[in-house]
Structure 1
Amino acid sequence: MEFIRAYEEKYSREHPVFYQGTFAQVLNDAKRELRFLLIYLHDADAPDTELFCKDTLSNREVVRYINQNFLFWGCSSKSDEGRRTLNAVKANYYPFLGVLVLKDNRMTIVGRLEGHTDPGLLVQRLTSVVNEFEINLVSARADRFEASINRSLRSQQDEAFMESLRADQEKERRREEQRMAKEAEKRMLEEEARAEEERRQSIAREKIDSISRVPSEPEAAHPDAVHVVFKLPCGSRLERRFLKTHSLERVLKCRPENAEIIETLEEAGLKNREVLFVNDLDA
């Protein structure tokens, strides 16, 4: 910064470490870091300035104490930044030193030294201010620590809640999957039951239809009567009489397209008394 360069050229390179930035920046950093802020307003034309800079600010004990306990910021009172700072701290005499600390959550000036001060007295007065207002920083650090702990606890609680929520959602997802799987299985079983019922009803209708198509049995003494004995897979025999002119139904789907169709029992070679063997092809 221009002020630091000019200061070192005119007075000494031995001085507390100047903060390189604006007054607003150093205020924010002191507040964030919870440190004391020492500001120096410089007026090169003030009668005590040269002695203060060469004798007091270059003193090793002063340099050590300020570097150890403060952020140190300075500027010329004749610069734009200096005039803004002057209005903020209400400096009346130069050289001006002001001590600021966080108080009621804002940086507040709690000590001021105006005019020349010898090194020993400066350290003594700064120490007095630090001792008096250190409690503000201690309290602020405690508040921040407590706030940090509370944020950490809330974060952990939020994480625990989210973990519990995710677990509940996963359980609900699994229950929904199981419910849907059971419903799908139930629908499949219902469909199978309906299909089986339709098959049974179809068979029953076919049986009824088949019975309705069976002609009346002729008298045993009828000259055109054909006695047919069905030998069933269970070994029982079923005997029935048909007329020679009755049709013989065949399983048309099993025959070749060009197969000769036998229309009657007579054409099938059945005469007075015949035996038909009925085999269960599915057995």
Structure 2
Amino acid sequence: MDYLGDNAGLGLTTEQTDKVLQFQDLTGIEDISVCRDVLQRHQWNLEVAVQEQLNIREGRPSVYATEARPPAVISDHLTQHIFYTPPTDGSGSGLRGFIRSIFSLFWTVCYSTIFAIFRFGHRFLRGDNRGYITNPLEDVRSFIKAYEEKYSSVHPVFYQGTYSQVLNDAKRELKFLLVYLHKDDAVDTPLFCRDTLSHIDVVMYVNTHFFFWGCNVSSGEGSKVSQLYKPSHFPFVAVVVLRDGRMTIVSRMEGYCEAALFVQRLTNVVREFDVNLRQARQDRMAQNLNRSIRAHQDEAFLESLRADQEKDRQREEQKRLLEEAERQKESEALEEQRRKEQIARDKIDSREKVPIEPDESHPDAIHLVIKLPCGVRINRRFLKSHSMEAIFYFVYCHPDGPDNFEITTNFPKRVLYSRCNYEYNDTLTIEQAGLKNRETLYINDLDA
């Protein structure tokens, strides 16, 4: 197991490092970068990532496997490992084998040409009926079932999905893909299936390093894939791997091969082209790191933008409150000004409600000393029959009189009249209020 010291240069947090180690223990995957890549694709959900790997080991397509737009597969003839073994019955060697090869090539070309012309004419006349031809997934499942019934249930785990799905999974998981095309009537097919593919070393090695996909070329899905790889002999095996961003055929094996030699060939191919997967993982890690950096930068920018927007909002809110307070202040000042103007008009109008001061010799005259809150003393005579309201208006109209007040005696203190208290009768006379010849009244400013 690789030691994850200093995050192995992967730039992981402590929590992510712990998840990588747990994932490594649970799955047995030794390559730390592979563990990190799988967890990262699953948003660091350990449970989902582990379950996904278990599904893959059982040959089930991943949840991300799709039929849409499978990646194109190219064949690199310059660096491709090609292995060919003549048929064990000798039909592929000597003059007989040469003649058979020429005939096979001629037959393949003629058959492909005639079939292509027929298919084009059929589609032109009848339309595209590909949806009614075969079910690719059912073709694969039928092949696996027939294989196990005829040969053995001991074999590398077959991928239980279509060719398009396994291509997408291999590209996403950054794993080698081993494609096996099966032909029932090929002379070496039974021997290869019973001896090679069922060998424990082959099973262990293929399950560890590859997605293993197979199909019978007699089925619709197998025939379609066979046309892409164009095998000339069977059994046929090809190795596909992501190279320079494209799924590339890096090895072809035709004919029978014993288990030890088969594992050796696969080992050589994996050893040579594994560097492409490592480079792809590094590129993916760099892309994820750049994406993460951009995400953090975007988040920091958005956070800064939100902070600026909040400052602007608070500034606008403060400005609005100040303007509202200023408007309120102006409104209150205007209202106060109107109130004072109204009081001034009322005081002018109230002069008419003040009775004429009686003569000092009048028998019903009462002499009052009225003390205002400002200290001014006013002497005024009223008749006993005058109402207390007359005294009120007299004080109200006086230049030093307050706007809102009550009339009281000093001792004992009694409130004789108050405009704001409806208990006092406006028709209450001075005599009824208990005032006699000479009295001193006090004016209390209710607004003070």
For the pair 1:199 / 2:362, whether they are aligned, the reply is: no
Q: Counterpart in 2 of 1:45?
A: 185
**In the TM superposition, what are the counterparts of 1:129-278 in structure 2 within 5 Å?**
129-206=269-346, 231-233=369-371, 250=390, 256=425, 259=427
On the 8 A contact 2:371/2:377 being kept in 1, the answer is: no
User: For residues 211 and 146 of structure 1, do their structure 2 counterparts lie closer, same or farther at Cα, with a shift above 3 Å needed?
Assistant: same
**In the TM superposition, what are the counterparts of 1:84-123 in structure 2 within 5 Å?**
84-123=224-263
CA distance in 2, matches of 1:133, 1:176: 63
CA distance in 1, matches of 2:344, 2:268: 112
TM-superposed CA distance for 1:84, in Å, is 0.4
User: For residues 10 and 53 of structure 1, do their structure 2 counterparts lie closer, same or farther at Cα, with a shift above 3 Å needed?
Assistant: same
TM-superposed CA distance for 1:122, in Å, is 1.6
TM-score, length-scaled by structure 2:
0.50
When structure 1 is superposed on structure 2, of 10-19 and 105-114 the one drifting more is 10-19
For the pair 1:67 / 2:223, whether they are aligned, the reply is: no
On the 8 A contact 1:41/1:77 being kept in 2, the answer is: yes
CA distance in 2, matches of 1:4, 1:214: 120
TM-score, length-scaled by structure 1:
0.76
Paired AA for residue 36 in structure 1: F
CA distance in 1, matches of 2:425, 2:230: 120
TM-superposed CA distance for 1:237, in Å, is 5.8
5+ long unaligned stretches in structure 2: 1-140, 394-418, 431-436
Residue 125 of structure 1, aligned match among 251, 262, 265: 265
CA distance in 2, matches of 1:44, 1:260: 129
Q: Counterpart in 2 of 1:280?
A: 443
User: For residues 50 and 189 of structure 1, do their structure 2 counterparts lie closer, same or farther at Cα, with a shift above 3 Å needed?
Assistant: same
User: For residues 130 and 175 of structure 1, do their structure 2 counterparts lie closer, same or farther at Cα, with a shift above 3 Å needed?
Assistant: same
On the 8 A contact 2:371/2:378 being kept in 1, the answer is: no
When structure 1 is superposed on structure 2, of 48-57 and 25-34 the one drifting more is 48-57
CA distance in 2, matches of 1:156, 1:143: 20
CA distance in 2, matches of 1:77, 1:237: 127
User: For residues 74 and 237 of structure 1, do their structure 2 counterparts lie closer, same or farther at Cα, with a shift above 3 Å needed?
Assistant: closer
TM-superposed CA distance for 1:59, in Å, is 2.1
TM-superposed CA distance for 1:119, in Å, is 2.1
Paired AA for residue 26 in structure 1: V
Residue 11 of structure 1, aligned match among 151, 156, 170: 151
On the 8 A contact 1:230/1:237 being kept in 2, the answer is: no
On the 8 A contact 2:189/2:256 being kept in 1, the answer is: yes
TM-superposed CA distance for 1:76, in Å, is 0.8
When structure 1 is superposed on structure 2, of 228-237 and 52-61 the one drifting more is 228-237
Total equivalences in the alignment: 265
Q: Counterpart in 2 of 1:22?
A: 162
On the 8 A contact 2:369/2:380 being kept in 1, the answer is: no
Q: Counterpart in 1 of 2:220?
A: 80
Q: Counterpart in 2 of 1:269?
A: none
On the 8 A contact 1:229/1:237 being kept in 2, the answer is: no
TM-superposed CA distance for 1:53, in Å, is 1.7
DSSP 3-state at the match of 2:170: helix
TM-superposed CA distance for 1:129, in Å, is 1.5
User: For residues 201 and 228 of structure 1, do their structure 2 counterparts lie closer, same or farther at Cα, with a shift above 3 Å needed?
Assistant: farther
Residue 57 of structure 1, aligned match among 194, 197, 211: 197
5+ long unaligned stretches in structure 1: 218-223, 242-246, 263-273
DSSP 3-state at the match of 1:18: coil
CA deviations on 1:110-162 (whole Å, 9 max, x unpaired) are: 11000112222222221222122112111111111111112222222222233
